[in-house]
């Protein structure tokens, strides 16, 4: 009974938000933090011009004519889960009080954070912004009922073009669309650096033959696919969780597409389809590792892996396995580093992945600049004396190939 109580107490501590529920959205980083040894050492050995944050989201509400769509249920207390997600995301991007100017305020905040990362010496840093496709029915028609939010390709392209010193962009195109190939060509011509999918939310089965022509065209353009795998909690949509199985990405890999498995599938379980359609459920991360080690065109991004619900054995293995690092990409999954309850620096200290002395500095950085917090945190991580290689953070070459 004592052991059970202690375990319950530990679980409660682990998920209790050590920095509260709401991002205070403080302004520019104080000089004492900007010049702190922890921040300076995070840049050791890196060329800032090669540092691209490979995974960040555009959000808004369409108030600037962006074409962004947000499902009305996110603004209704009748859907408390969706309502809470909307509040957390807006607060994380520091636009919850920007009535009438959410779209523009969100982009302005991101640009301020990028400036804060650069300081006076680190020019060239960029953030890769994701468009976000609607859910679709099996026949290729948009499914707005199950679309939680939609960020059009044109908007992501235009923001990246307007602020080219700060941003690159990635398109999001449902492969079931009747105009999917035409949309892919427009994205490629518009400078898209890849295509983003969240299969479970969008209703995309990556293993379906419906994707074959799309994959062939992606391979022709050498555009990478960034696809979520494993359990999805942030965006629900169609909730077709089986579509997030890492093994279902093998059709794209076999077609020659470079596939980035977002978050390295570091949460949840999926069926081991190699043992049949009713194979046993195993950790999604184990299936990612199987795919990653077989296919040289498989990549992983480490975005969100330091969140309290993901940090653990998967994070330790990605840090310690240096042979993987050449195909790992860093991304912040912004605005999630600004969602205060989903990170616990103290928990990472308890796992012996961070020195205790770093905790108060990281927590304070986070209240001013979540992008810098995410970067410095990952550069500070150590497991059995090993850390992420510099190439994990110098991601520009992957997108500029």
- Report the pLDDT value the prediction gives residue 123, as an integer from 0 to 100: 87
Exposure of 158 by Cβ count < 10 A (0-12 exposed, 13-18 middle, 19+ buried)? middle
CB atoms within 10 A of CB 49: 13
pLDDT band for position 311 (cuts 50, 70, 90): very high
Sign of torsion over alpha carbons 177, 182, 188, 192: negative
* pLDDT for the residue numbered 75: 84
* Interatomic CA distance for residues 74 and 70, integer angstroms: 7
Quote the mean pLDDT of the chain.
Answer: 92
Q: What's the pTM?
A: 0.93
The count of residues in the chain is 401
State what percent of residues in the chain have pLDDT above 90.
Answer: 82
How do residues 261-298 score in pLDDT, each as one tens digit?
999 999 999 999 999 999 999 999 999 999 999 999 99
Which whole number is the average pLDDT over 148-152?
94
Q: How many CB atoms sit inside 10 A of residue 9's CB? A: 10
Query: What pLDDT was estimated at residue 112?
Result: 96
- Average pLDDT score over residue span 361-368: 97
For 261, phi then psi, to 5°, come to: -85, 110
Evaluate whether 203 touches 243 at the Cβ level (below 8 Å). Answer: yes
- Check whether 6 has a pLDDT greater than 60: no
Q: What tens digit of pLDDT does each residue of 178-223 get?
A: 999 999 999 999 999 999 999 999 999 999 999 999 999 999 999 9
Backbone CA torsion sign across 26, 29, 30, 32: positive
Distance CA 172, CA 195 (A): 5
């Amino acid at each position: 009974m004592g052991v059970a109580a202690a375990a319950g107490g530990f679980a409660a501590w682990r998920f209790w938000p050590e920095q509260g529920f709401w991002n205070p959205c403080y302004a520019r980083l104080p000089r004492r933090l900007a010049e702190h040894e922890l921040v300076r050492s995070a840049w050791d050995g890196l060329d800032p011009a090669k540092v691209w944050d490979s995974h960040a989201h555009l959000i808004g509400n369409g108030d600037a004519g962006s074409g962004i769509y947000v499902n009305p249920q996110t603004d209704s207390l009748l859907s408390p889960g969706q309502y809470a997600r909307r509040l957390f995301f807006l607060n994380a991007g520091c636009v919850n009080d920007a009535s009438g100017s959410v779209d523009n305020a969100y982009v302005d905040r991101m640009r301020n954070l990028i400036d804060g990362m650069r300081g006076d010496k680190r020019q060239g840093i960029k953030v890769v912004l994701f468009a976000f496709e609607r859910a679709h029915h099996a026949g290729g028609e948009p499914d707005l009922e199950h679309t939680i939010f939609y960020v059009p390709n044109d908007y992501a392209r235009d923001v990246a073009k307007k602020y080219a010193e700060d941003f690159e962009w990635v398109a999001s195109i449902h492969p079931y669309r009747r105009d999917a190939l035409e949309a892919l060509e427009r994205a490629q011509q518009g400078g898209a650096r890849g295509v983003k999918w969240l299969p479970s939310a969008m209703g995309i089965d990556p293993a379906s033959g419906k994707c074959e022509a799309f994959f062939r065209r992606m391979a022709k353009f050498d555009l990478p696919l960034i696809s979520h795998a494993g359990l999805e909690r942030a965006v629900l949509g169609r909730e077709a969780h089986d579509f997030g199985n890492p093994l279902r990405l093998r059709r794209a890999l076999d077609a020659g597409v470079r596939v980035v498995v977002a978050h390295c599938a570091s949460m949840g379980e999926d069926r081991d389809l190699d043992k049949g359609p009713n194979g046993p459920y195993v950790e999604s991360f184990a299936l990612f590792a199987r795919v990653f080690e077989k296919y040289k065109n498989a990549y992983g991004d480490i975005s969100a892996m330091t969140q309290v619900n993901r940090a653990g054995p998967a994070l330790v293995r990605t840090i310690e396995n240096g042979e993987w690092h050449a195909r790992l990409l860093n991304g912040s999954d912004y605005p999630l580093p600004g969602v205060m309850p989903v990170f616990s620096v103290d928990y990472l200290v308890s796992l012996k992945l961070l020195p205790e002395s770093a905790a108060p500095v990281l927590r304070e950085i986070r209240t001013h600049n979540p992008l810098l917090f995410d970067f410095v945190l990952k550069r500070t991580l150590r497991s059995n004396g090993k850390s992420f290689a510099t190439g994990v953070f110098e991601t520009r070459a992957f997108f500029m190939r």
